[in-house]
Amino acid sequence: MLISIAPARDFSSDERETIDRFVRGGGLLICTAGAEHAGATNGLIEQYGLRVPPSPIPPTEPAREPRPEGIFYSRFLVVEDYEPAMWHHAAWPVEDMSGKAGVLKHDMTDEATIVHRSVDRGAVLVIGDTYFATNENLEWGPAQPTMENVVFWRWMLSKAIGPEWVPPKPEGEAEPPAEETPAQPPPDEGPPPPDRPATPPDAAPGDQTPDRPGALPIGEMPGPVPPEKPDSSRLFPRDDAASRGARWLLAEEAP
């Protein structure tokens, strides 16, 4: 198996010939490259009729800019009541110009993102995602540890070289509760406390409540609290004309 992850340097003609002999002799070539890193990879896989449309496209080129698929999570297989899924880190479309490749994964609009093709005794597998084989995408989802991409890799390799391996349903997977099952209260939860009446049963308007001897009669509201006059002597302690005038204004009394 030979894995090429978005090389920055073009392959030489000797390197391409060596890799081609390796593939046709029974080897598996895996190329992972997004559109922004597709230049050197396309130089290697175009001989097999496969291509990752590059990005950005120069304004003088007639080709259209490929659409980035980005990160997404979707199923790749349906096995009875089990639908295994996988994560793409930053997906881009992959083109099959030979018409002989099989699609292993596509995006939400049926655009191929992972394809494989048999070449003599070997096979070529192209993944339109530069970071698909990184540890972050292999063992981790965006928010929690996951083995889903590990399962996908095993299935993907079996599809490329055969025989196909079908992932089993994980053991101990909790079944969703039936919709017709009513919700049950916690076992230690007792009945709700009775509502407390707003007015004691034996109290009449105008009576004092028995547990608050100084309270207002029931049904009456307290009146406004008169404002407290400030202490002018503390605010203006000096014995000059200005202080005496200020104390007079606050106390509303003539000096």
Residue 236 belongs to a domain: no
Per the domain annotation, does 203 fall within a domain?
no
Residue 14 belongs to what domain range? 2-58+65-161
pLDDT at 255: 44
- Average pLDDT of the chain is 80
Q: End-to-end CA distance of the chain, in Å?
A: 106
Residue 128 confidence (pLDDT): 96
Between these two residues, 52 and 252, which has the higher pLDDT value?
52
> What's the pLDDT band for 63 if we cut at 50, 70, 90?
confident
What is the tally of structural domains in the chain?
1
| Helix (H) or strand (E) segment spanning residue 28 | strand 28-32
The confidence score (pLDDT) of residue 181 equals 45
Q: Backbone dihedral region of 28: left (phi > 0), alpha (psi from -120 to 50 degrees) or beta?
A: beta
Residue of 20 and 194 predicted with greater confidence: 20
Nearest one of 156, 164, 111 to 138, comparing CA atoms: 156
CB 125: neighbour CB atoms within 10 A?
25
Q: What is the pLDDT of residue 138?
A: 79
Peptide bond into 62 cis (omega under 30): no
Instruction: Give a yes or no: residue 226 inside a domain.
Output: no
The pLDDT confidence band at residue 82, using thresholds 50, 70 and 90, is: confident
Domain for residue 254, yes or no? no
Q: Is residue 86 part of a domain?
A: yes
Beta-ladder partners of 79 = 82
Please tell me the distance from the alpha carbon of residue 8 to that of residue 26, in angstroms, as a whole number. 26
The reply to whether 178 falls in a domain is no
- Report which residue type is found at 200: P
Q: How many CB atoms lie within 10 A of CB 53?
A: 18
Looking at residue 182, its pLDDT comes to 46
pLDDT digits (tens, 9 = 90+) for 107-144: 888 899 999 999 999 999 999 999 999 887 877 655 55
For 30-56, the pLDDT digits (tens) are 999 999 999 999 999 999 999 999 998
Q: What is the model's pLDDT at position 177?
A: 43
More confident of the two residues 190 and 85: 85
Strands 122-127 and 28-32: parallel
Report if residue 104 sits inside a domain. yes
Instruction: Please give the model's pTM, rounded to 2 decimal places.
Output: 0.64
Query: Where does 39-182 have alpha helices with state H?
Result: 39-45, 135-139, 148-161
Burial class (CB in 10 A: 0-12, 13-18, 19+), 246: middle
pLDDT digits (tens, 9 = 90+) for 168-201: 888 765 444 444 444 455 555 556 656 555 555 5
What confidence score (pLDDT) does residue 58 get? 85
- Of all helices (H) and strands (E), which one includes residue 2? strand 2-5
Q: Is 174 domain-assigned?
A: no
As a three-state string, the secondary structure of 158-182 is HHHHCCCCCCCCCCCCCCCCCCCCC
CATH of the domain at 32: 3.40.50
